Amino acid sequence: MRVPTRQPRGAARRAEILAAAGELLARSGTAAVTHRQVAERAGVSHGSIRYYFDSRDALLMACLQEIEAERSAEAERALAEAAAEADAPSAEDTARRLIRCLSGASLSDSALRGGLCWLVDTTRESGDLSAELSRERRVLERQAEEILRVSGFPQAPADLAVALGEGIMLKILVEGRTHIAAGATEALGRFLRQYRE
């Protein structure tokens, strides 16, 4: 009996399209994520994009959900590392884990710059995308709160730590400086030392 191969190929094609859209989103913001540009980047026909994503909003929503899934998985890894430590992690180690919770595994300046830019762009695109981003932010804050708790910083407000981390990264970006993750980690570490029990 012949096993159909269309479904795995279709899933692979959809993943390629999402990867291309994600690259465009990170590099150039939401304005770059058009069916035509994504098709060109993925090396597929314009019709292929429409087959998998019936609208630009659907494509952006899928990108947002994919990015969030990757970020959330990295936050869970950071949480597991913190929970596995015999002694309470230092403020600096906890700050590094919080930055991973905020941004995902890639902490290069270009990845963080792209992430900050699409984050702002997405809120202006549509109500549905903004609502999805808001939902994802609540998940992020719960993960940050758990990282703080298992790391010995239960009194540190997670929402404030998240805002500080992202705010410092944005400040470094706007000032044209480099080493975004290191700068944000240092600032978060100083903030957390106030809450060590």
Identify the pLDDT of residue 61. 96
Residue 112 corresponds to which amino acid? L
The pLDDT score that the predictor gives to residue 44 is 94
Phi first, then psi, for residue 171 (nearest 5°) are: -60, -45
| pLDDT given at position 197 | 57
Splitting the chain (197 residues) into consecutive groups of 10 residues, what average pLDDT does each group show? 60 94 90 94 93 94 94 98 94 98 95 91 91 96 98 97 97 97 98 89
| Per-residue pLDDT, 26 | 86
Per-residue confidence (pLDDT) for residue 10, from 0 to 100 = 84
- Distance linking the first and last C-alpha atoms of the chain: 65
Phi-psi region of 179 (alpha: psi -120 to 50; beta: other; left: phi over 0): left
Q: Are the beta carbons of 97 and 71 closer than 8 angstroms?
A: no
- Distance, in Å, from the CA atom of 111 to the CA atom of 47, rounded to the nearest integer, reads 29
Q: How many CA atoms lie within 13 A of 26 on its CB side?
A: 19
> Which of these CATH numbers, 3.30.465.10, 3.20.190.10, 1.10.10.60, 1.10.3720.10, describes 1-54?
1.10.10.60
pLDDT at 28: 87
pLDDT at 33: 95
* pTM assigned to the model: 0.90
pLDDT at residue 3 in the model: 46
Q: What is the pLDDT of residue 9?
A: 83
Q: Which of 3, 26, 186 is nearest to 90 (CA)?
A: 186
Sequence-ordered strand ranges (E) for 79-152: none
